[in-house]
Amino acid sequence: MWTYMMAAASADPLAAHTRRLAASHRPHREPPSQTTLSNHVPPSESCSQTTQLDIPRQDGGIARLSGTERCPDTESSEVIRIFDPSRTDQEVGAMEDTCDSIRNSEKLHRRLHRLTNRLQRMWKCRPRKRKKDREPDGFLAKFQGSGASASPEHSATCCWGHRLAIDPTLPFHYRWLLVVSLAVLYNLVFVVGRAVFWELNNAVPGVWYLLDYVCDAIYLLDIIVHAHEGYLEQGLMVRDAKRLRQHYFKTARWRLDFLAIFPTDLAYFWWSPSSCQVQVPCPVIVRTNRLLKLSRMWQYFEKTETRTGYPNAFRICKVVLAILVLIHWNACLYFAISYVVGFGSDNWVYNLNGARNASLARQYIYSFYWSTLTLTTIGETPQPENDAEYLFVVADFLAGVLIFATIVGNIGSMISNMNVARVEFQNRMDGVKQYMQFRKVSTELEARVIRWFAYTWANKQALDEERVLGALPDKLKAEIAIHVHLDTLKQVRIFQDCEPGLLEELVLKLRLQVFSPGDYICRKGDVGKEMYIVKRGRLIVVADDGKTVLATLGAGSVFGEVSVLEIAGNRTGNRRTANVRSLGYSDLFCLAKRDLWEALADYPDARHSLTERGCQLLRKDGLLDEDVFQGAKQAKDSIADKIDRLENTVDNLQTRLARLLAEYSSSHAKMKQRLARVERRESSYPSDSCSELELELDEEQGAAGGAGISVNQHRRSFQRARRSNCARRYKQNTV
């Protein structure tokens, strides 16, 4: 802070003095030659400070000037400057300019310091550990990242870079790969082409510069995206940005990405692109390291093959693109060799003479034509005349044989795969036709069969769903079936408001059947073993004469649902009550009775509700015999009660048997232990000391068995008697 003070001291040479601000305010006189003095005010001083200045007067006294100034918050350097009339205006102006520049530089320094601190707080994330927080699980934290277990306050203050993670399965990643692939394709085509054809390089230099550096920017962004791509570890997606970056930098992909974006364009400073005139290669050749990003484009191709609905067509397009790029590179190489050998020096190289041959279009078209003939080994090309030309042609022929043999083989397999479904269908139809000819089937029936095959193929119903979906797990197979058939199954009245689990079981058991015009789906009096749901087509209900139309059934109609429930008291006896015939080609879903009851076995409540709904439908049509139904229901209930009582009795018997077996095992173990102890004691006695006792006890054992005494009781008495008598006799013999 600068303070300017004016003092009227024209006669006194000591008119201007400066004083150092200090803690004490004593007057202090400085030498006359010193006009300014920097003063350092420590930050511990008071917020206000009184400045005093002693100025000599003409009468010999001292005039004291004082003033109060506010101290800054931080350390500062103050200079009290007093105007001296002896100074010239130029010197004063120069000093003022110097002071202003110093003041501005200090302000700029403070602003930069504040900005630096703010940026550090923004980019640096310093999580604080809390003692009260429970430590996160290490296994889950490894996949969820450090921010997953952090508190909401900490996650809100953490910088966004620590939360950046890209899921490679999302559409954003797929679209980004498309952008990167376009940049790679641009470099594949134009970097090599501009390095050889100088006319192409000099055509629109501004556009080339723009496209080059736009592609470089895409490459740089792709490094960031690639460094934050999630990956699976133990089945979980890793989303911790720090771990993702560490994983990326450890791979070889990072090295290739770095080399692909290495600034080789710096060579333009001493090798200007505009200097390329009738010269090969042009300076743009330094950008060939951009081709190292080719794997990113193949990654996009792989994702597209799995996402597109026409994989075979896409594979063919990919192979054609690879062929065109190879021919393009070979054409550029041919033009470069022509430059090295000399344009027009022989018949093999390109002849640059003439205005027509000097044009860019003619140069590229002829080179591309020559490359196509050479690599495909089709047609004749000019004969080489020197060793370099012969070597290049031989290398081209070998590359053409190897590369194009592989490519043509792949295209052939792709085309055959595109027709594999048609071939299988044709083989099945040929087999059926041969069988009909062998069995001498009528011509009319044979024509109907052929028309049925044609209809199924035209409507894409010739696929075997079981075989196609056989590779999927049961869960995914069930989800596909639910997506395809669940709405159709809900149209059945008896299945409305059923448990979702039952409907999921039933959709897996639906079978599609195709009926030709005039085919009978069912006839009156047939035993109902299936129920049908009309998916597409039109059916008619006809009388016994087959001509009178009683009703018409369209898409969504259902019939035969009551017959598959086997309801007792049904007056029709679970038989068909009408003739149903297909008016044209009709697609029907069929649900067999056996499949229905297999699904209902695990859902007893649903079985009961379905039976009740079937009874309501029969009552509505007057086809239910209540007496028979109630009798069957009571008989079923009585049988069910008997079965329940029998099951309870069996459970009790099993419990008692288990208890007895446990007691027997325990008693058997205890008996073994006691016998072992007796045998050990007996071995220590004389051999003839207890023989009489054993004989007596054997007789008592037989008597006890005849009297019905339990074996355990006899054994216990035997052991007690044996121990007491043997001990007594042993003592007598010893005495």
Q: Is the residue at 85 inside a domain?
A: no
- Cα 159 from Cα 287, distance rounded (Å): 36
- The label of the residue with tokens 């990167």 reads 180
Specify whether 286 is located in the same domain as 402: no
Specify whether 620 is located in the same domain as 632: no
- Cα 459 from Cα 512, distance rounded (Å): 13
Q: How confident is the model over 526-545, as pLDDT tens digits? A: 888 888 988 888 999 999 88
Q: Is the residue at 256 inside a domain?
A: yes
Grade residue 225 by pLDDT with cuts at 50, 70 and 90: very high
Specify whether 438 is located in the same domain as 508: no
- Of 379 and 75, more confident: 379
Q: How confident is the model over 474-524, as pLDDT tens digits? A: 778 778 877 777 777 767 777 777 777 787 788 888 888 889 898 999 998
Evaluate whether 191 touches 288 at the Cβ level (below 8 Å): yes
Tell me what pLDDT residue 375 has. Answer: 87
Tell me what pLDDT residue 216 has. Answer: 94
In angstroms, the Cα distances linking 109 to 42, 103, 431, 492 are 19, 10, 92, 81
Specify whether 390 is located in the same domain as 445: yes
Tell me what pLDDT residue 336 has. Answer: 92
Q: Is the residue at 591 inside a domain?
A: yes
Specify whether 344 is located in the same domain as 410: yes
- Of 468 and 95, more confident: 468
Specify whether 330 is located in the same domain as 189: no
Q: Is the residue at 520 inside a domain?
A: yes
State mean pLDDT over 83-100. Answer: 58
- The H or E element spanning position 582 is strand 579-582
Closest CA to 378 of 404, 413, 346: 404
Grade residue 129 by pLDDT with cuts at 50, 70 and 90: very low
Last residue of some domain: 606, 641, 658? 658
Mean pLDDT of all residues in the chain?
A: 75
Confidence check: pLDDT of 71 > 60: no
- Cα 233 from Cα 246, distance rounded (Å): 14
Specify whether 457 is located in the same domain as 337: yes
CATH number at residue 608: 2.60.120.10
- Cα 226 from Cα 260, distance rounded (Å): 14
Evaluate whether 510 touches 485 at the Cβ level (below 8 Å): yes
- Cα 481 from Cα 501, distance rounded (Å): 13
State mean pLDDT over 447-472. Answer: 79
Name residues whose C-beta falls within 8 Å of residue 729's C-beta, 6 or more positions apart in sequence: 689, 690, 693
- 557 φψ region: left (φ > 0), alpha (ψ -120 to 50), beta (else): beta
Tell me what pLDDT residue 6 has. Answer: 41
Specify whether 286 is located in the same domain as 173: yes
Last residue of some domain: 431, 463, 495? 463
Q: Is the residue at 663 inside a domain?
A: no
| Amino acid (one-letter) located at 509 | K
Report angle CA 132, 136, 137 to the nearest 5 degrees: 145
Q: Is the residue at 422 inside a domain?
A: yes
Closest CA to 165 of 258, 254, 245: 245
Q: Is the residue at 18 inside a domain?
A: no
Q: How confident is the model over 148-205, as pLDDT tens digits? A: 443 333 333 334 445 678 888 889 999 999 999 999 999 999 999 999 998 888 888 8
- Cα 29 from Cα 19, distance rounded (Å): 7
Domain that holds residue 369: 326-463
Q: Output the six-digit token pair for 475.
A: 């869960």
Specify whether 596 is located in the same domain as 506: yes
What is the number of structural domains in the chain?
4
Tell me what pLDDT residue 24 has. Answer: 41
Torsion of CA 277, 283, 284, 289, to 10 degrees: 150
Three-state SS string over 315-360 comes to: HHHHHHHHHHHHHHHHHHHHHHHHHHHCCCCCCCCCCCCCHHHHCH
| Amino acid (one-letter) located at 352 | L
Tell me what pLDDT residue 29 has. Answer: 41
Specify whether 279 is located in the same domain as 185: yes
| Amino acid (one-letter) located at 448 | R
Confidence check: pLDDT of 52 > 60: no
Q: Supply φ then ψ for residue 50, to 5 degrees.
A: -95, 130
Confidence check: pLDDT of 659 > 60: yes
Evaluate whether 273 touches 284 at the Cβ level (below 8 Å): yes
Tell me what pLDDT residue 5 has. Answer: 39
Last residue of some domain: 638, 658, 678? 658
Tell me what pLDDT residue 331 has. Answer: 93
Three-state SS string over 374-398 comes to: HHHCCCCCCCCCCHHHHHHHHHHHH
Q: Is the residue at 1 inside a domain?
A: no
Query: Quick one: DSSP state of residue 191?
Result: I
Closest CA to 95 of 108, 105, 83, 111: 83
Q: How confident is the model over 329-338, as pLDDT tens digits? A: 999 999 999 9
Specify whether 177 is located in the same domain as 217: yes
- The secondary structure of 468-537 as a DSSP string is HGGGS-HHHHHHHHHHHHHHHHTTSGGGTT--HHHHHHHHTT-EEEEE-TT-EEE-TT-B--EEEEEEES
CB under 8 A, 24+ apart: contacts of 562-566: 562/494, 562/528, 562/614, 562/617, 562/618, 563/527, 563/528, 563/529, 563/531, 563/593, 564/528, 564/529, 564/530, 564/531, 564/591, 564/592, 564/593, 564/596, 565/494, 565/596, 565/610, 565/611, 565/614, 566/593
- Cα 291 from Cα 264, distance rounded (Å): 13
- The label of the residue with tokens 């990113």 reads 296
Q: How confident is the model over 575-585, as pLDDT tens digits? A: 888 899 999 88
Grade residue 76 by pLDDT with cuts at 50, 70 and 90: very low
Name residues whose C-beta falls within 8 Å of residue 236's C-beta, 6 or more positions apart in sequence: 143
Specify whether 288 is located in the same domain as 417: no
- The H or E element spanning position 578 is none
Window from 54-58, 139-143, 429-433, 691-695 with minimum mean pLDDT = 139-143
